[in-house]
């Protein structure tokens, strides 16, 4: 299903940032909140976030102006709606991001079903509730699932995608494709469980951290220090299960045999937490929790956290740590249908290099380029030809789910590595060639490449890896190879 319009319900901490993610990917976004004051602050918050995310160094040192333009263009794609019905009347995809309260969420979902177009996919960014507990409110649960974004949603790459028993495969596929097009890394949670994966892991750690403090084993300061600067430091690069493998499963078995009986197994929050709450020590918002929070400290910590996260995500991306196994697996079907636009330098003829629909284009291309330049073995053992291929002189065909941001990132990466593909074809899902033009301006700064717009539905029907494509200046496209 093609997604053009996204609606986000709730413009708080998560909602405004989720709206930003989709707007930056070139989609039209309607944002609403029942609190007019929160809604009124949404656009300035988004503009401030965008300026940080698209700061000159984040895209290309030479293109501060176009980064600024992209931020402005993204913010301009967000419209504020004064009520839910208006926000979702045109929506193809909805994210519910209201309070974590089952009754409030169920009522919002009920209203969504009443006012959304029948084809719209409805999702919730709940932190904990499972799909079956929310879907009770719906007559059509087949179009509902959880999309658990992490805070701040415009920085953290992963979104957990959790379907329920009744969610249709199409709703899941549409959601995964949309998130990938928006530059996210969707991770599938295969069973409908409370807390999904991330919060189950996180709260297992928090339960033990609180128990350690409650039992006087270590101070809150030292618990956080140990977590941050020991295993926490390596988590972005080596996950917990990779760590098990590296150390050996026999070592994990030996440690767990001795240690697991000692770990906290409480099935409800500790008395320590109850006592603190009773004393009003609710954390940063109350000035005291485990730590003292004088005025301004929370804002300072959050600002530093977000700056550091942005840097870390860039670092991880630049070094190829953002590939998920899914992005490296090649489906047996390499046939891709393109109907869209091309960035090209006039007449050209060349071999098509096709990335598969549903892949994260940036990660795929990063893999191929990295594999080639570093002469490392291509990580994609299923199809080393495709991703280890030399991109020079190829016509790169991005999947139809690739938005302008990912397309720009691919183009930028290709340019940085001094690889010269002949052209890049991308789909009509990119909302306007303004986005395409900006990509070109961003990346080639000063060396403009002609763009061809509105080639029409017949522009490019089916392209398969290895097919040859001829594109004429008049827009005529000839595909040779004919395996379609």
Q: Which residues bind ligand NAD (CB under 6 A)?
A: 9-15, 32-35, 38, 84, 97-100, 104, 108, 125-127, 149-151
**What is the pairing mode between strands 462-463 and 336-337?**
antiparallel
Report whether 81 contacts 30 (CB < 8 A). yes
Q: Is 118 helix (H, G, I), strand (E, B) or coil?
A: coil
Tokens 């139809």, located at residue: 400
Taking the CA atoms of residue 427, residue 24, residue 330 and residue 249 in that order, the dihedral angle to the nearest 10 degrees is 180
Which helix (H) or strand (E) segment holds residue 32: the answer is: strand 28-32
The nearer residue to ligand NAD, 7 or 369, going by C-beta atoms, is 7
Min dist CB 96 to ligand NAD, Å, is 8
Tokens of 159: 């979104």
- Cis preceding-peptide flag for 152 (omega within 30 of 0): yes
Contact 148, 11 (CB under 8 A): no
377 Cβ neighbours under 8 A, 6+ residues apart: 371, 384
Report which residue's Cβ sits closest to ligand NAD: 12
Nearer to ligand NAD, 11 or 353 (CB): 11
- In sequence order, the 6+-apart residues with CB closer than 8 A to the CB of 202 are none
Of the candidates 451, 409, 400, the one whose C-alpha atom is nearest the C-alpha of residue 430 is 400
For residue 100, the minimal CB distance to ligand NAD (Å) is 3
DSSP state of 377: P
To the nearest whole angstrom, how small is the minimum distance from the Cβ of residue 39 to ligand NAD? 8
CB nearer ligand NAD, residue 94 or residue 379: 94
Nearer to ligand NAD, 101 or 271 (CB): 101
Contacts of 234 (CB under 8 A, 6+ apart): 243
Q: Based on CB atoms, which residue is closest to ligand NAD, 127 or 372?
A: 127
Work out how close the CB of 287 gets to ligand NAD at its nearest, in angstroms, rounded to a whole number: 19
For the bound state, the minimum distance from the C-beta of residue 385 to ligand NAD, rounded and expressed in Å, comes to 40
Which tokens hold the place of 55? 């700061």
- Buried residues in 359-395 as b, exposed as e (16+ CB within 10 A): bbbbbbbbbbbbbbeeeeebbbeebeebbbbebeebb
Nearest distance from residue 285's CB to ligand NAD, in Å? Answer: 11
∠ Cα 371 374 376 (to 5°):
55
Helices 249-259 and 240-247 pack at an angle, to 10 degrees, of 110
Q: Which residue lies nearer to ligand NAD by CB, 10 or 163?
A: 10
CA dihedral sign, ordered 52, 431, 39, 194: negative
The nearer residue to ligand NAD, 82 or 253, going by C-beta atoms, is 82
For ligand NAD, the closer of residues 55 and 133 by Cβ is 133
Give least dist CB 8 to ligand NAD, A: 10
Paired tokens of 211? 């128990």
Report the residue number, 10 or 436, with the smaller CB distance to ligand NAD.
Answer: 10
152 class by beta-carbon count within 10 Å (0-12 exposed, 13-18 middle, 19+ buried) = buried
Q: How far is the CB of 297 from ligand NAD (least distance, A)?
A: 18
Residue number with CB closer to ligand NAD (45 or 468): 45
Compute the distance between CA of residue 174 and CA of residue 177 in angstroms, rounded to an integer.
5
Task: Supply the minimum distance, in Å, between the C-beta of residue 122 and ligand NAD.
Answer: 14
CA dist 421 and 355 (Å) reads 14
State in angstroms the smallest separation of the CB of 47 from ligand NAD. Answer: 18
By beta-carbon proximity to ligand NAD, the closer residue of 13 and 337 is 13
Q: Least distance from C-beta 123 to ligand NAD, angstroms?
A: 11
């Amino acid at each position: 299903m093609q997604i053009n319009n996204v609606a986000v319900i709730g413009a708080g901490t998560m909602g405004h940032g989720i709206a930003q993610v989709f707007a930056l990917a070139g989609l039209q976004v309607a944002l609403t909140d029942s609190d007019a004051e929160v809604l009124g602050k949404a656009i300035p918050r988004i503009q401030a976030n965008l300026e940080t995310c698209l700061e000159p160094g984040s895209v290309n040192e030479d293109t501060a102006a176009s980064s600024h333009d992209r931020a402005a263009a993204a913010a301009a794609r967000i419209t504020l709606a004064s009520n839910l019905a208006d926000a979702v009347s045109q929506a193809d995809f909805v994210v519910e991001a209201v309070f974590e309260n089952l009754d409030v969420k169920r009522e919002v979902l009920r209203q969504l079903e009443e006012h959304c177009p029948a084809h719209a996919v409805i999702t919730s960014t709940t932190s904990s509730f499972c799909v079956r507990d929310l879907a009770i409110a719906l007559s059509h649960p087949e179009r509902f699932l959880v999309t658990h974004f992490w805070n701040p949603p415009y920085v953290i790459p992963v979104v957990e995608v959790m379907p329920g028993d009744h969610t249709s495969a199409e709703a899941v596929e549409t959601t995964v494709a949309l998130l990938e097009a928006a530059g996210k890394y969707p991770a599938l949670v295969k069973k409908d469980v409370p807390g999904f994966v991330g919060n189950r892991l996180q709260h297992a750690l928090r339960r033990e951290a609180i128990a350690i403090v409650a039992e006087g084993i270590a101070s809150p300061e030292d618990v956080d220090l140990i977590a941050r600067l020991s295993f926490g430091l390596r988590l972005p690069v080596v996950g917990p299960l990779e760590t098990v493998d590296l150390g050996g499963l026999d070592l994990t078995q030996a440690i767990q045999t001795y240690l697991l009986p000692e770990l906290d197994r409480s099935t409800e929050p500790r008395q320590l937490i109850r006592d603190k709450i009773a004393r009003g020590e609710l954390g940063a918002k109350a000035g005291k929790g485990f730590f003292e929070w004088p005025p301004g400290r929370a804002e300072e910590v959050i600002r530093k956290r977000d700056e550091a996260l942005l840097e870390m995500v860039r670092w991880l991306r630049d070094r190829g740590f953002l590939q998920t196994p899914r992005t490296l697996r090649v489906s047996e079907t390499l046939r891709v249908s393109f109907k869209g636009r091309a960035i090209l330098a006039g007449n050209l003829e060349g071999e098509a290099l096709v990335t598969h629909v549903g892949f994260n284009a940036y990660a795929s291309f990063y893999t191929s380029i990295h594999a080639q330049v570093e002469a490392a073995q291509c990580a994609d053992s299923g199809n080393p030809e495709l991703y280890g291929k030399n991109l020079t002189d190829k016509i790169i065909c991005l999947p139809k789910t690739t938005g302008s941001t990912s397309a720009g990132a691919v183009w930028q990466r290709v340019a940085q590595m001094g690889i010269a593909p002949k052209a890049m074809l991308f789909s009509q899902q990119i909302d306007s060639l303004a986005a395409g033009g900006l990509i070109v301006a961003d990346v080639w700064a000063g060396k403009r490449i002609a763009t061809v717009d509105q080639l029409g539905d017949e522009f490019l029907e089916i392209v398969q890896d290895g097919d040859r494509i001829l594109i004429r200046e008049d827009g005529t496209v000839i595909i040779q190879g004919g395996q379609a």
